[in-house]
Homo-oligomer: A and B are copies of this chain.
Amino acid sequence: MGKRIFSKFLKERRQRFTKEREGILQKILSSRGHFDPESLYLKIKETGLKASRASVYRTLNLLCECGLIERVKKTEHGTIYEHTSVHEHHDHMLCMECGNIIEFYSENLEKLQEGICKRQGFQGVSHSLEIRGYCKKCQKKKRS
């Protein structure tokens, strides 16, 4: 579980695994898919947990540093995160109509990346492919 990893990470840096941090982590782990800081903050308030916006942001940065979550994308409305602990690496399709994000994984893409890097003498560490377009639902809507 992520709690172990996070508290170990903090201990190593002589930092503390506080109630606030625990609450924030729990809320993140207990929800599916992508999230943004503001919604997370509101969800936390709803639940009666306490944590200020500042703490939410601070904790998100810590969780990124220890690899439990990842910044997926910066948009005009802020940063989108996702937790890495559950699912493996994948890429995204973004519906330009409804904003929905679809995850996918392609082994061929991974191999292709390696090839491209080798050719350029670039040492690839990670990548992200975003495909923009229209999801099934929105294609139908458009037709009618």
**Chain A interface (Cβ < 8 Å from any Cβ of B):** 73-76, 93, 95-96, 102, 104, 106, 108-109, 112-113, 115-117, 120-136, 139
Contact = CB atoms under 8 A, between A and B. Distances in A.
Give chain A's interface secondary structure class: strand
A132 B121 contact: no
A81 to B, nearest CB: 14
B102 A131 contact: no
A107 to B, nearest CB: 11
Given A75-B74, A112-B112, A120 B93 contact: yes
A131 B109 CA distance: 12
Contact of A117 (B93, B120, B124, B125): B93
A108 to B, nearest CB: 6
A129 B132 contact: no
19 contacts: A74-B74, A93-B117, A93-B120, A104-B116, A109-B109, A109-B112, A121-B135, A121-B136, A121-B139, A122-B133, A122-B135, A122-B136, A123-B135, A124-B132, A125-B133, A127-B129, A127-B131, A128-B130, A129-B130
Contacts of A132: 124-127
Scoring A74, A104, A123 by chain B CB atoms within 10 A of each residue's CB, the highest score goes to: A123
A76 B130 CA distance: 19
A104 B108 CA distance: 18
